[in-house]
Amino acid sequence: MAEQTREIKRRIRSIQNTEQITKAMQMVAAARLRRAEERVVSARPYSEKIDELIKRIAENFGEISHPFFRPRERHNVGYVVFTSDRGLCGGYNSHIIHRAELAMAQDEQAGVIIVGTKGRDYFRRRNVDLLAEFLALGEKPAVAQAEGIARTLVELYKGNIVDEVNLVYTEYISTGKQQPVVYKLLPLVAPEQEEEEERDFGIIPDYIIEPNPQGVLDMLLPRFINAVVFRALQESKASEEAVRMIAMSSASENAKEMIDDLSLLANKLRQAGITSEISEIVSGAGALEG
């Protein structure tokens, strides 16, 4: 019984050490989440506004054309899957990979461009050829990193290696809610002409575009693609830290419950040992008196 009690105490100390680690990781994830959330909020208006601007130009100047707007037959479809570089983030990676596999199952030929070590490892174990991979982007993805990813996607599309590019990432909604989404990046969908009363742009000003609408669109489209990729990176990072914070909080709570259960068991064993010793003493005293 004494040996069993010592083993339980060793387990309690081990779980206490684990609890300290999970609590520390929870605090770190919470701090990173606050910063990531701020970056997401600041990145969204730019990408939304440039998207709106491109739509307005494409609507009001019908004579413009661009290869990115030209539809293609979907022979080879590329999926950019945004995962994490580190683990201990609950079901974050499994959910986004599952969403990507569901989308890829609908295509005869699908190529994968991976962002994050965990996704790279997953697809390599399944012998999936990766068209490109981007690893170790850090805790604060930079604009230059997004531009590098966007440049690769454009090269794959222009080189006819893929006929369509989809971003598969986790949209950050709140600390407790994140949503895996599939966003079609290329080819761009040209907005259809809408009735004036159906437009939701508010007051539409008369544009004077220099040097010409085509030139402005040629300048805006690369920036738009960069903005969309950068936003996907920011959304993914915020979602990752939110899930990690929740996972570490749950791990800390589970460790506390295990410590309480083991402490109760140790106390019961100690009490049983004391009771047994008292019984032996009483029995011994009775035998001496007899």
The class that CATH gives domain 24-188+203-247 is alpha beta
Tokens 């599939």 correspond to 182
Catalytic site includes residue 148: no
The pLDDT assigned to 133 comes to 93
Phi, psi at residue 196, to the nearest 5°? -55, -40
> d(Cα 95, Cα 100) in Å, to the nearest integer?
9
Q: Is 55 left (phi over 0), alpha (psi -120 to 50) or beta?
A: alpha
The pLDDT assigned to 87 comes to 87
Q: Are 146 and 80 in contact (CB under 8 A)?
A: no
Better pLDDT: 71 or 185? 185
Q: Which residues lie below 8 Å from residue 61, measured CB to CB, with a gap of 6+?
A: 209, 213
Q: Beta partners for 177? A: 174
Q: Which of 57, 55, 66, 51 is nearest to 208 (CA)?
A: 57
Domain ranges of the chain: 24-188+203-247
Tens-digit pLDDT profile for residues 153-184 = 999 999 989 999 999 999 999 988 999 999 99
Tens-digit pLDDT profile for residues 186-205 = 888 766 544 444 445 454 45
Q: Are 115 and 81 in contact (CB under 8 A)?
A: yes
> d(Cα 163, Cα 226) in Å, to the nearest integer?
19
CB count in 10 Å sphere of residue 192: 7
Question: Is pTM, for the whole model, over 0.85?
Answer: no
* Catalytic-labelled residue, pool 36, 58, 89, 149: 89
